[in-house]
Chain A
């Protein structure tokens, strides 16, 4: 290895160490600041509980079977919402992306309805699907449908025309075209759409649970708020954030791994 290459590697290692030091310093600063704020009494009592109180609450939460029962309810609702909304979104996106006329006629409706706050549909969902899990699943469906449909339509338009012509020249059926040509070729935009869809499905489902429910993670959060159990609320929010960000990162990683395997 030449001298320049060795110097570059050394510089990279030094930068990496500095980054770790800065990260540790920022985390330590936040934790110390939090504890100081907790002890200062500047905010109402228990609004900022001590780190040990949050840690104890997190420990209790993670060893409580009731927590896992509620978590499984929420995961089930989000999963089903993502499945139904994802399949509908994907089918709609493929249709809109494949046909210019349909795209011109209907895509603007999806494009403009996409950024509306979906939680406002919750009263309607309650009337249609009841106060149980049905309305929460419906909220997940409504939330994730739009980003997945928009991403799939965009991905469909990016497919290399040659691939489509190859499929047609082999007289592939519609299902073969979808499974062998369209879906593999538009994998990246679809995965991005699913990532976005998962994020908004989590928000839609959990917000619906906080509004009207007797089980699920949203219900636990609003219960902690009602009983002013702040350490438990912080613990719940931390767990939820870790799970949501983790699920998002997992989909991204699976996508990258699949891409590497394909190119290898």
Chain B
């Protein structure tokens, strides 16, 4: 009898999510027990309880908030560049059909290219600085912004374009008053994708070149063999990525309420 009300709760969306979270907690508990029992080497995997203790320590001692702000600034600069360069390039490809036919497959190939591997080249050109990190983020996120802008502009409904023509709008007016507003939802999707690509690559390059914000923190702690700190910093970066990704999703839904 008492089981009956429990079943709908467990099969509901919230119940399932709770079970998902409980599974993660149970796994953490199993790891803690396995390390304490000596089944898992604590010099390879630190105790989860030690990691939990290390998180407040690294936040205070390693100046995490400042590092977080550094990474955020790099992401913001990269996203500004993405908007300033990617959207006009998408518009340019839309405006000149022959250039679009010639270049669209190249931009698609660029999206599949492992651009972040060029970081040693960027190091030589820009030095070991925030500029290298921002430029890698920008280069990695450019292709989706161009392609989505192009997709949005090309998908503008013919009736809207005809209305613009009936009002005898100039090319510039047609772009600013008809094409761009109609393409905005797709442009935002492109910016979101570009921003995510930029963020992933920025943290990655920070780690690789040992410079900047959160990525550098993980590298430094690993080089000091501060295991709980390293795991704690990785958890912090994962949480930051999740919050960033979730915010981008919510922002996209807010900006595209009808979709």
Given A19-B101, A105-B23, A207-B208: A234 and B121 interface contact (C-beta under 8 Å): yes
Q: Which residue of B lies closest to A243 (CB)?
A: B114
A128 is an interface residue with CB less than 8 A from chain B: yes
Partner of B124, one of A47, A112, A113, A115: A47
Check A241–B238 contact: CB distance below 8 A: no
* B44 on interface, CB distance cutoff 8 Å: yes
Determine if A9 is an interface residue (Cβ-Cβ < 8 Å): no
Chain B interface residue bracket vs A: 35 or more
Evaluate contact between A106 and B23: CB separation under 8 angstroms.
yes
- Are B102 and A115 in contact, CB atoms less than 8 angstroms apart? no
Q: Does A206 contact B (CB under 8 A)?
A: yes
| A residues less than 8 Å from B116 (CB atoms) | 203, 207
B98 to chain A, nearest CB (A): 5
Q: Classify the secondary structure of B's interface with A.
A: helix
Q: Is residue B188 within 8 Å, beta carbon to beta carbon, of the partner chain?
A: no
**Contact of A210 with B234 in the complex, beta carbons under 8 Å:** no
State whether B245 touches A22 (Cβ < 8 A): no
Chain A residues in the interface with B (C-beta under 8 A): 15, 18-19, 22-23, 26, 43-44, 47, 101, 104-106, 108-109, 112-113, 115-124, 126-128, 195, 199, 202-203, 206-207, 210-211, 218, 221-222, 224-225, 228, 230, 233-234, 237, 240-241, 244-245, 248-249
**Among A22, A120, A203, A249, which residue has its beta carbon within 8 angstroms of that of B218?**
A120
Interface: B230 (CB within 8 A): yes
A241/B11 contact (C-beta < 8 A), A109-B20, A117-B201, A128-B44 known: no
Pick the residue among A119, A221, A225, A244 that contacts B204 (CB under 8 A).
Answer: A119
User: Within 8 Å CB of A218, what residues of B?
Assistant: 117
How many angstroms between the C-alpha atoms of A199 and B246 in the bound complex?
24
Q: Complex: how many Å from CA A211 to CA B120?
A: 11
Does B99 count as interface, using CB distance less than 8 angstroms?
yes
Q: Find A245's partner among B24, B112, B118, B120 (CB 8 Å cutoff).
A: B112
CB contact between A120 and one of B121, B196, B215, B227 (< 8 Å): that residue: B215
Query: Which residue of A is nearest B218, CB measured?
Result: A120
Once the chains bind, are B204 and A207 in contact (CB under 8 Å)?
Answer: yes
Residue of B nearest to A104 (CB): B16
**Which of B118, B124, B203, B218 interacts with A123 by CB under 8 Å?**
B218
Residue among B19, B121, B123, B246 with the most chain A CB within 10 A? B121
Which residues between 213 and 249 of chain B lie within 8 Å of chain A, taking CB atoms? Answer: 215, 218-219, 222, 227, 230-231, 234, 237-238, 241-242, 245-246
Given contacts A105-B23, A124-B231, A203-B117, contact A112 B101 (CB under 8 A): no
Question: B207 touching A225 by the CB < 8 A rule?
Answer: no
Nearest CB of B to A223, in Å:
10
B102 pairs with A221, CB closer than 8 A: no
Residue of chain B at shortest CB distance from A203: B114
B203 touches A120 (CB 8 A): yes
Distance (whole angstroms) from the CB of B63 to the closest CB of chain A = 18
| Cβ 8 A contact of B118, one of A47, A128, A228, A237 | A237
Query: Can you list 14 contacts pairing A with B, beta carbon distance less than 8 Å?
Result: A104-B17, A106-B20, A109-B24, A120-B204, A123-B234, A124-B231, A199-B114, A210-B120, A221-B117, A225-B121, A225-B123, A240-B114, A244-B114, A245-B112
Q: Is the CB of B102 within 8 A of A22?
A: yes
CB of B13 within 8 Å of the partner chain: yes
Knowing A109-B24, A203-B117, A237-B117, the reply to whether A116 touches B112 (Cβ < 8 A) is no
Task: Tell me if B113 counts as interface (CB < 8 A to partner A).
Answer: yes
A117 touches B215 (CB 8 A): yes
B contact residues around A123 at 8 Å (CB): 218-219, 222, 230, 234
Q: Is the CB of A113 within 8 A of B238?
A: yes
Known contacts A225-B124, A237-B117; decide if A119 and B208 are in contact (CB<8 Å): yes
Which chain A residue has the least Cβ–Cβ distance from B208? A211
From residue B95, how far is it (CB to closest CB) to chain A in Å? 14
Contact of A108 among B17, B199, B219 (CB under 8 A): B17
* C-alpha spacing A44/B112, complex, angstroms: 30
Nearest CB on A from B180, distance (A) = 25
A120 contact set on B, CB distance < 8 A: 203-204, 207, 215, 218, 234, 237-238
Task: Let me know if B25 is at the binding interface, CB within 8 A.
Answer: no
Find out whether the CB atom of A116 lies under 8 angstroms from the CB atom of B242: yes
